[in-house]
Amino acid sequence: MWDKDHKILLFDGVCNLCNSTVNFVINRDRKKQIRYAAIQSPAGKKLLMKYNISPNYLSSLIFIDQEKVFLNSSGALRLCLYLKPLWPLMYVFIIVPPMLRNAIYNIIANNRYKWFGKLETCMVPSTQVQSLFITNENEI
Q: What is the mean pLDDT of residues 70-99?
A: 96
| Residue 79: pLDDT over 80 | yes
Q: Is residue 140 in some structural domain?
A: no
Calpha distance 55→18 (Å, rounded): 18
CB burial string 4-31: b at 16+ within 10 A, e below: eebbbbbbbbbbbbbbebbeebbebbee
The domain tally of the chain equals: 1
Domain span holding position 25: 7-135
Q: What is the mean pLDDT of residues 3-18?
A: 86
Check: CB of residue 119 under 8 Å from CB of residue 112: no
Q: Is residue 28 in some structural domain?
A: yes
Task: Let me know if 79 is exposed, middle or buried by CB neighbors in 10 A (0-12, 13-18, 19+).
Answer: buried
Q: Is residue 2 in some structural domain?
A: no
Q: Is residue 1 in some structural domain?
A: no
Q: What is the mean pLDDT of residues 133-140?
A: 76
User: What is the pLDDT confidence band of residue 3, given thresholds at 50, 70 and 90?
Assistant: low
The tens digit of pLDDT for each residue in 19-76 reads 999 999 999 998 999 999 999 999 999 999 999 998 888 888 999 998 899 999 999 9
Calpha distance 30→21 (Å, rounded): 15
